[in-house]
Structure 1
Amino acid sequence: MANREVELLAVGAGPSNLALAVALEELAPGLARDSLVIERDQEVSWQKGMLLPEALSQVSFLKDLVTLRNPRSKFSFLNYMHAIGRLDQFVNMGCFVPYRIELAGYLKWTAEQLSQVDVQMGRECARISPVWTNDTLTGWSAEMTDGDTIRSRYLVVGAGRDARIPEPVQGLAPERVIHSTEYLQRITKLRKDFPYRVAVIGGGQSAAELFCAVQNDLPECKPTMVMRSIGLNYYETSKFNNELFYPSFVDEFFVSRPEARKQMLKELHHTNYSGLAPGMMDSLYRSVYLDRLNGRGRLEMITTHDITSARDEGDEIVLELTDWRTGAVRQLRTDLVLLGTGFSQEMPRMVRDIAESIGLEEVSVTRDYRMVIDRPSTAACYLQGVNEATHGIADSLLSILAIRSNDILQDILTHRAAHPENTGPAHIAAAR
């Protein structure tokens, strides 16, 4: 496969591109057979760093890859549970939100059920370059880390956002800093009998999960949770707020004025960020309460503090914390830093590199998630999961996957119909 041409290349085999692959198989089998999904990992995985045994999803099982678009699809979460013989048990739980590990299994199963879309694992994309023909963008050339090249007319980027690493800790020894996306893979490599001093950074669900998990994974550790907020808060989860996660709300959000979008995102912040699920909040408070009751002094929480600097000093890390209320500065000496700091709101590096390669000063998309290209083009690039600023708070979540995949697919089909002479790998090959 040193050089291969396909009509559609999707980068990343996460929920977004798997939903698109399902839509392709159900609605456009011809295009499906000329589509390829690549994934850098060796297997389909989802939030593998945080697949903690008791971690629940925050989204209903009905908001899977397909049900809101096609309730009768064989690719539904319920059909997955039936296929593995656990549907009775799941129904008996009486809960709309499955365990995170169940959703991860569902995504892997879905990839295995695809019969027309080609999904290839262990395929990491090093760079993507535009293909030009007489000053017209006619395709994309994706170079793999193994030197192979895949050319396509349509490109769909669904590789997720980059992890957010706070600037003060970026210079620390990497073996002492673990972002939540790598937690399970790396924590298992540490000694269980060592009394690590652990700093957990963040005040949201991920940080709380890290704070609880590390107590079991490193039984002798002493964890300290550091946050800039005045305290931990619940997610705002009223049913009225949840209506703003409907796929239909994307239309309302997209046509709103830019300043109105910013205000809505600000007001909706606690529906998805800087908050804890009720079960996690209660469990966390009980553990802190019992620690105080028993006089152990193992668990500590530091609120209203920013990390203003950090350094490696011998065998330990020294964090400088500044209380934003008083300006007072204190030091926290620790052995390990866990980051529950989420993801950068900046466009991922891959997307920025693509935009730069075609001369775009900024990245913007249409309502149907197509990158706006201000030059003649018969090719297109679509962005999944990175358009919160224009498409609303649900854009990075599972809530809109089924409908978004249909939006993208229908736009591709319309675009192909408008340029039938440029359809197919033969045209891309000719543009070399």
Structure 2
Amino acid sequence: MTHTRDLIGIGVGPFNLGLACLAEPIEDLDAVFLEARDSFSWHPGMLLDDATLQVPFMADLVTLADPTSPYSYLNFLKDIGRLYFFYIRESFYPLRREYDDYCRWAAERLTSIRWGQPVTRVEHDGAAYVVTSASGEVWRGRRLVLGTGTAPRLPFEVNGPALHSTDYLTRKAELLRTRSITVVGSGQSAAEIYADLLTEQETRGFDLTWLTRSPRFFPMEYTKLTLEMTSPEWTSYFQALPGVRRAEVRAGQAALSKGISADTINAIFDELYRRQALGGIDTTLLTATEVRAAQWDGERYSLDLHHTEQDVSGRMVTESLVLATGYTTRVPSFLDPVRDRIRLDEQGRYAATPTFSVSHTDDVFVQNGEEHTHGFVAPDLGMGALRSSTILAGVLGREVHPVEKRIAFQEFGMPDRFRSPSEQPARSAS
């Protein structure tokens, strides 16, 4: 019979990679991580030369769980001889390319990762999960951790050569051969792509448009009391809300997770100002403008537009279309044979518990597939170490790395001491 592991991780993005780093030194944990790709790569289509993370370096794979781990970002810098450069730079925010290099450095030092193993089927034989890859290899494990990532979200049906931001750099040369480019999106990726194209436009002369349905170009809200919402107690508070109310709360939090770095916004404005001072600009920026449909005629797109504040319609034509419209979570088809074991909500999404379990028997966990249950912090890199610590505690029955329960000064929800007598929580008899 195939050797039975304690844990099988499926997918190796930053979150499962962090889990693998934290699991590596645990002697009584037998874990393996399967990844379809042949090596680690993190959003290669958006590794722009000057782009930085929107979170500090302490939101690395391990530090917030285990500051002494050999897989920390600072240890990476020391190992490659760049620690003093980073120190003198005096910025908490690594370049995105540096973060990708760091993750690859950590992945290459782990013994638990199996590359080139796309999972095609997961079954349960009554005692453990049986995981089969496209190569025909089979693994058996008592528990699974799903870290399969997210898929590009397309808000409308798209034909033709339109591209999602995830493919921007790999197809940038193709874009630059066209006479007009339109970027659709409201977040950091849209802003970075627009800024990058703005620098190219001056010499290449294409028309450049940026459309967002947001009422303005939202900056990322990054004040310290707001950052306290990336906390265990905020997540617990959010989970306790009714499902409809959770959706309402999430809808009002765009600036917390999908906003644009203030530095990026200011750099774009400064470049537009410079252009104007030198004789004019040839670009269009439109807010509160939703793209409802895109028709490709073989040469160009016709975009059906709707201005959400004026409630008027319009149309524009563009040769190239870049959709920086975010990502969505999907339950992978390889889980179909064990779908009856997976806990899903009425919309077919993972119904994750506070411990990130998504199975009725609490032996399947999810990484970054629980934003609707745990809140906007689910895709935040700073959430990874805490979530991995929680999952490891669920697997081992003990906390290898202490799981913080409270880190915020503020309180979320009505404190019991302020509630009216009729709304006090019930007390159990002693």
TM > 0.5 = yes
2:231 is aligned with 1:239:
no
- 8 Å CA contact retained: 1:139, 1:380: no
- Per-residue CA deviations over 1:195-237 (Å, capped at 9, x if unaligned) read 4311100122111111112334675232210111232121111
- Cα gap change, 1:311 to 1:410, in 2 (>3 Å): same
1:15-26 alignment runs, 5 A limit: 15-26=14-25
- Structure 2 unaligned regions, length at least 5: 399-430
Matched, 1:131 2:131: no
Q: Which residue of 2 aligns with 1:428?
A: none
Counterpart secondary structure, 1:30: coil
Distance 1:395 1:282 in 2: 28
Q: Distance in 1 between matches of 2:86 and 2:21?
A: 23
Residue in structure 2 matching 1:223, options 208, 216, 232: 208
Q: Shift of the alpha carbon at 1:99?
A: 1.0
Letter in 2 for 1:11: I
Q: Hey, what's the Cα distance between the residues in 1 that align with 2:231 and 2:42?
A: 22
- State the Cα distance separating 1:60 from its structure 2 match: 1.1
In structure 1, stretches of 5+ residues that fail to align are 416-432
Q: Deviations over 1:338-394 (max 9, x none)?
A: 1111112x5444587476354755331221111131xxx5x7211011112222221
2:3 matches 1:10: no
- Paired residues in the alignment total 392
Give me the whole-angstrom Cα distance separating, in 2, the residues matched to 1:354 and 1:91. 51
For the 8 Å contact 2:178–2:320, the answer to whether it is kept is: no
SS of the residue corresponding to residue 172 of structure 1 reads coil
Deviations 1:255-300 (A, max 9, x none): 4454554454344331111x21111010111222333444444321
C-alpha separation in 2, matches of 1:263 and 1:215:
36
2:393 is matched with which residue? 410
Distance 1:298 1:382 in 2: 50
Among 212, 219, 222, the residue aligned to 2:195: 212
TM-aligned CA deviation for residue 23 of structure 1: 1.6
- Paired with 1:227 and 1:120, the residues of 2 have a C-alpha distance of 41
Partners of 2:80 and 2:342 lie apart in 1 by: 49
> Which of 138, 144, 147 is 1:155 aligned to?
144
Give the whole-Å Cα distance in 2 for the aligned partners of 1:305 and 1:251: 35
CA distance in 2, matches of 1:19, 1:162: 20
Aligned to 1:180: 165
Q: Contact 1:11 / 1:156 at 8 angstroms: preserved in 2?
A: yes
State the match for 2:88 in structure 1.
92
Tell me, yes or no, if structure 1 residue 265 matches structure 2 residue 232: no
Which AA in structure 2 matches 1:69?
A
Where do residues 255-334 of structure 1 align in structure 2 (5 Å cutoff)?
255-258=240-243, 261-273=246-258, 275-334=259-318
Q: Percent identity?
A: 27
Aligned-partner Cα distance in 1 for 2:248–2:297:
43
SS in 2 for 1:29: coil
User: What are the superposed Cα offsets for residues 128-151 of structure 1, whole Å, 9 maximum, x if unpaired?
Assistant: 3x3143xxxx33233323343333
Measure the CA separation in 1 of the matches of 2:286 and 2:146. 39
> Residues 131-179 of structure 1, C-alpha deviation per residue, up to 9 Å, x if partnerless?
143xxxx332333233433332211111212211112xx3312xx2111
Equivalent residue in structure 1 for 2:355, among 368, 377, 380: 368
Give yes or no for contact 2:178–2:319 (8 Å, CA) kept in 1.
no
SS class of match (1:393): coil
The AA in structure 2 aligned to 1:92 is: I
The code of the aligned residue for 1:299 comes to T
1:394 aligns with 2:377: yes
1:30 to 2:13 alignment? no
For residue 131 of structure 2, give the secondary structure of its aligned residue in structure 1.
strand
SS at match of 2:142: strand
- Cα distance change, pair 187–40 in 1 and its aligned pair in 2 (3 A): farther
The residue type equivalent to 2:50 in the other structure is: E
Instruction: Report the Cα offset of residue 104 of structure 1.
Output: 0.9
- Residue 155 and residue 312 in structure 1: after superposition, are their counterparts in 2 closer, same or farther (change >3 A)? same
Change (3 A) 1:223 1:146: farther
Distance 1:8 1:359, change over 3 A: closer
Distance 2:105 2:342 in 1: 40
Task: Label 1:139 to 1:177 Cα distance change in 2 as closer, same or farther (>3 A).
Answer: farther
Determine the C-alpha separation between the residues in 1 that align with 2:169 and 2:343: 38
Q: Distance in 2 between matches of 1:300 and 1:353?
A: 46
Aligned counterparts of 1:388 and 1:196: Cα–Cα separation in 2: 39
User: Which amino acid in 2 is paired with 1:213?
Assistant: D
Is 1:44 aligned to residue 40 of structure 2? yes
Q: Structure 1 residues 153 and 54 mapped into 2: Cα distance closer, same or farther (>3 Å)?
A: same
Aligned AA (1:282): N
SS of corresponding position for 1:329: strand
Instruction: Determine if contact 2:344/2:351 at 8 Å carries over to the other structure.
Output: no
Decide whether aligned partners of structure 1 residues 171 and 354 sit closer, same or farther in structure 2, where only a CA change above 3 A counts.
farther
Q: Match of 1:80?
A: 76
Q: Conserved in 2, the CA contact under 8 Å of 1:224 and 1:301?
A: yes
TM-score (norm 2): 0.83
Moved more, 67-76 or 85-94: 67-76
1:39 Cα deviation (Å)?
1.7
Q: 1:68 maps to which residue?
A: 64
CA distance change for structure 1 residues 140 and 316 in 2, over 3 Å: closer, same or farther? Answer: same
Q: Which moved more, 1:253-262 or 1:102-111?
A: 253-262
Pick the aligned partner of 1:254 from 229, 239, 245. 239
- Give the Cα separation in 1 of the matches to 2:175 and 2:314: 29
Aligned equivalent of 1:171: 158
The answer to whether the 8 A contact 1:187-1:217 is kept is no
